[in-house]
Chains A and B, each alone.
Chain A
Amino acid sequence: MARLNIKVVDSYSRSPLPYVHVEVGGRVLTTGLDGAATFDLVIGSYIVKARQIAYRPWTRTIQIPKEGTYQQTIPLEKAIY
């Protein structure tokens, strides 16, 4: 097993974003007040999506090549005026 630590931040202020829905391989978690969400994954390729209604949707494909701990920062861009 591998561990993927995701941190969602505001792309401008770099401050952590809570209550963001993060989807990895079909499993959805919501970030805590620290903007973090953690997924335990098997080796493979995953589509990562982050959604918060006031921000531009974020989607990327990531590789988990071997067991270990991985970090992924997701900078969300504000979409509202």
Chain B
Amino acid sequence: MLKERVPPRKGRSFEDIFGEKASEEALILSPFIFPPTYLSFEIANRVESLLKNVNLRVVRFSGLLASKETAFIHLPEHNLFVYMGHARKNALCGENVFLCNLVTVADASIFKDQIVVANPACESAAELGPAIVKAGARAFLGSVENMYAHFNEAEHNYQDDWFEYTLIFYMSVLTKTMGEAVEDWKNEITRYMDLYKTHLDDWPNADWNYFAAKMNRDNFVVLGDPQAMVPRLGFEPTTVKERGLLES
């Protein structure tokens, strides 16, 4: 005799609670163990502040909490996914660069209808990005090659330059199309490359940083729809609905 199956229980989604799709939320994952992730962690801090300042709901996980479980639990409720950390052609690594399995090609479908930004992250647009877009993501922004950190050296604080041009990129991600954001990223890096070029003789590390910036600029791509934008509906954190959620 066939037993009647119980329909699977549907979890309470953001949409169930608020009556609207959570189309303005961002999920940031930033591992923190292997060098130079302590620098991308700092960028993640600044990007988190930036996103919150423009009233985006932001969920941020760092260190060991930036796990595969976290990604799978929280991703369905977000429309913008930001990853900052080690990656390979076919995976975002997470905390463990040896296992490197935070998000793999096999997980590509969890990003359906989302915008995914992997910056800084190496090679993510080589195999993982195309798989994610093929599985239905609106856009994937990442590099097909290695991405470099810059450091604070004796002659010049290249690290601050990097933080600045990366923050400008994330500001553009919020306010412009993905194609325009990548264009802004490249233009901003070019400004710093020009600066380093003029100091090749008197800044001992200008050549290395010129190369690093060039790698970051020339290999960064937008896959999927370059016209895609992060949806912005506005968010008032003290609405009745929000208070009701907090009280329950």
How many B residues are at the interface, by size bracket? Answer: 20 to 34
* B149 pairs with A81, CB closer than 8 A: yes
Tell me the smallest distance from the CB of A56 to a CB of chain B, in Å: 5
* A12 pairs with B35, CB closer than 8 A: yes
A12 to B34, CA, bound (A): 7
Indicate whether A45 reaches chain B with its CB closer than 8 angstroms.
no
Indicate whether A59 reaches chain B with its CB closer than 8 angstroms.
yes
* A53 pairs with B211, CB closer than 8 A: yes
* A77 pairs with B35, CB closer than 8 A: yes
* B204 pairs with A77, CB closer than 8 A: no
Which residue of B36, B85, B87 is within 8 Å of A78 (Cβ)?
A: B36
* B205 pairs with A78, CB closer than 8 A: no
A contact face: mostly helix, strand, loop, or mixed: loop
For chain A, residues 25 to 51, give those with C-beta under 8 angstroms from any C-beta of chain B. Answer: 49, 51
B23-36 interface bits toward A, Cβ cutoff 8 Å, 1 = contact, 0 = none: 00000000000111
Indicate whether A11 reaches chain B with its CB closer than 8 angstroms.
yes
Given contacts A53-B211, A57-B208, contact A79 B148 (CB under 8 A): yes
Given contacts A56-B151, A80-B147, A80-B148, contact A11 B208 (CB under 8 A): no
* A80 pairs with B146, CB closer than 8 A: yes
* A81 pairs with B122, CB closer than 8 A: yes
A56 to B86, CA, bound (A): 16
Which residues of chain B have C-beta atoms less than 8 A from A51's C-beta? 208
* A81 pairs with B36, CB closer than 8 A: yes
Q: Which one of A11, A49, A80 has the highest number of Cβ atoms from chain B below 10 Å of its Cβ?
A: A80
A79 to B40, CA, bound (A): 11
* B151 pairs with A79, CB closer than 8 A: yes
Closest CB pairs A-B (n = 5): A80-B146, A81-B122, A78-B35, A81-B120, A57-B208
Q: Give B contacts to A, CB under 8 Å.
A: 34-37, 40, 85-87, 120-122, 146-149, 151, 153, 204-205, 208, 211-212
